[in-house]
Amino acid sequence: MRKSLITIVAVVVSIFSLAQEAKRVKRPDLPGSFIIEFGFNTAQGSTPLNYNQGVWGSRTLDLYYQYPIRLWKTKFSVNPGVGLSFERYKFSNNYTLPRQPNQDGRYDLVRVTDIYPNVSVDKSMLVMNYLDFMPIELRFDTKPEDLNRSFHLAAGLRVGFLFDSHTKIVYTEGGEEKTIKDKQKFGLNTFRYGFYGRVGIGNFSLFGNYNITPVFDTAKAPSNSNMNTMTIGLSISGF
């Protein structure tokens, strides 16, 4: 009887152990790294007439994946990547881009109340979302064998394609907050390219992007402007 009881207990313990092992999900060991970047945008070059930008509302969120290729047994690597960039530019003076271009084919900035009379404007911004490719990034790590504790420097080329753009206006009417989105291209350049760099330790970095390509198409730019942009912020990566 005692021997049978011991056998039953052993079987139950074995079944319980197997069930616990089945519930455990092994974390996949994916190559490369996922990167989240949050930064603030500033306009560079010749800005449009009546373009006044708010700092805190002009921000970028980037979601990227990069695959490292170690250059032999050195501390250098090449890291091609791809991802999405969600950019916002806030107009601090309650201007916006018009629904239609003027007689010259340009999207000159206008007051929100010129398009939507009798509203109390709370926020006005331009939203641009890009699919980005990083075909070339050269990175230096002081400890390639332990990236979580390594100091690193990286610089590369970024190429982007605009896949969504719209203006967003938040206003109050009758004590209720409402939002208007006008989704169109507004004379924006579909293609962009520029340079970027990162410096940091482990999973944390400071990053900067500079877009050489003007935001607007030359023939449709508001008030003959030639504006490009720069972003500075914090980058977090997970290996």
Where does residue 149 rank: exposed (0-12), middle (13-18), buried (19+ CB within 10 A)? exposed
pLDDT digits (tens, 9 = 90+) for 126-147: 999 999 999 999 999 999 989 8
A 10 A CB-CB count for 34 gives 15
Closest to 125 measured CA to CA, from 179, 194, 63:
179
A 10 A CB-CB count for 33 gives 17
Longest dimension (CA), the chain: 100
Task: Please check the confidence at residue 231 and state whether its pLDDT lies above 90.
Answer: yes
Closest to 186 measured CA to CA, from 119, 70, 107, 71:
107
Let me know: does 169 contact 122? Beta carbons within 8 Å: no
φ, ψ of residue 228 in degrees (nearest 5): -120, 180
Element (H, E) at 167: strand 151-173
pLDDT digits (tens, 9 = 90+) for 17-63: 544 554 444 545 567 899 999 999 999 999 999 999 998 899 999 99
Task: Please check the confidence at residue 122 and state whether its pLDDT lies above 80.
Answer: yes
Mean pLDDT computed over 104-127 = 91
pLDDT digits (tens, 9 = 90+) for 78-90: 999 999 999 999 9
Task: Please check the confidence at residue 207 and state whether its pLDDT lies above 60.
Answer: yes
pLDDT of residue 47: 95
Closest to 222 measured CA to CA, from 47, 42, 48:
48
Work out the mean pLDDT of the chain and round it to a whole number: 88
The pTM (predicted TM-score) of the whole model is 0.84
Q: For every residue of 33-82, which 3-state class applies, written as one string?
A: EEEEEEEEEEEEEECCCCCCEECCCCEEEEEEEECCEECCCCCEEECCEE
Which residues on adjacent β-strands are paired with residue 169? 124, 180
Confidence of residue 14 (pLDDT cuts 50, 70, 90): low
- Cα 143 to the center of its chain, rounded Å: 28
Overall size of the chain counted in residues: 239
Each as own residue / partner, the long-range contacts of residues 181-184 (CB below 8 Å, 24 or more positions apart, any chain) are 182/97, 182/99, 184/99
| Two structure tokens written together for 157 | 């080329």
pLDDT of residue 28: 53
CATH number of 30-238: 2.40.160
Mean pLDDT computed over 138-162 = 94
